[in-house]
Structure 1
Amino acid sequence: MIAREWKCRVPDVHSKGFTSYLYETGIKDSSATPGFLGAQIFHRSSDGKVELTLITYWDKLESIEAFAGSDISVARLYPEDAAYQLEPDLSVQHYEVIEHQFMAAHRG
């Protein structure tokens, strides 16, 4: 399994709107691509901005290429990104996932 990591920053005021927009663009498009296995979005606030990290999971590099294009190290951006004052990383990182275990939530 391959993890694809992309980060961006937006002003706090755009955090909720951009997160919804991210679901309608990046998550929707990647999940429609064969070989997509799942995604996670991480959120943290710092100095009036929100940093979002999107990690998508894929079966193989060729599946990522079908989503991202021939240079999979380049971030896939969307036309309306600027409306959210997006500060995107222009490149992405890829990792081989060697462990992926989640424990069921304890409910007491």
Structure 2
Amino acid sequence: MIAREWKCRVPEAHSEGFTGYLYETGIKDSSATPGFLGAQIFRRSLAAKIELTLITYWDNLEAIKAFAGNDISQARLYPEDEAYQLEPDLSVQHYEVIEHQFSAEQRG
């Protein structure tokens, strides 16, 4: 399994709207690609901004190429991103997942 990590920053005022937009673009397109296994979005506050980290999980690098194109190190951005004053990372990181375990019990 391969994890693909992408980060961006948005002004606090756009955080909720951009998160919904991220579901409609990146998550929707990813999940429609064969080999997509799942996704997580992380959020943290910075000075007057919110940083969002999107991690998607894939069967293999070929599945990622089907989503991202041949240069899988480049972020896939969308034309409407500018409306959210997005500060995107232009590259992504890939990791081989060597352990993944979640409790069947929900905590929180």
Instruction: Give the TM-score taking structure 2 as reference length.
Output: 0.97
Aligned residue for 2:44, secondary structure, equals strand
Aligned residue for 2:33, secondary structure, equals coil
Distance 1:106 1:55, change over 3 A: closer
Gaps of 5+ in 2: none
Aligned residue for 1:77, secondary structure, equals coil
Q: CA deviation at 1:106?
A: 5.2
Q: Distance in 2 between matches of 1:19 and 1:54?
A: 10
Distance 1:72 1:103, change over 3 A: same
Q: Quick check: 1:13 aligned with 2:25?
A: no
The answer for the alignment partner of 1:83 in structure 2 is 83
Ranges of 4+ aligned residues in structure 1 off by more than 4 Å: none
The answer for the alignment partner of 1:67 in structure 2 is 67
Q: Distance in 2 between matches of 1:104 and 1:7?
A: 28
Alignment of 1:1-108 (within 5 A): 1-105=1-105
Count of residues in Structure 1 that have an aligned counterpart in Structure 2: 107
The CA RMSD measured in Å over matched residues stands at 0.9
Instruction: Give the TM-score taking structure 1 as reference length.
Output: 0.97
Q: String of CA shifts for 1:45-83, please: whole Å, max 9, x gaps.
A: 111100000000000000000000000000000000000
Q: Distance in 1 between matches of 2:106 and 2:39?
A: 22
Gaps of 5+ in 1: none
Q: CA deviation at 1:23?
A: 0.1
Q: Distance in 2 between matches of 1:57 and 1:32?
A: 13
Q: Which moved more, 1:59-68 or 1:97-106?
A: 97-106
Q: CA deviation at 1:105?
A: 2.7
Q: Distance in 2 between matches of 1:104 and 1:2?
A: 22
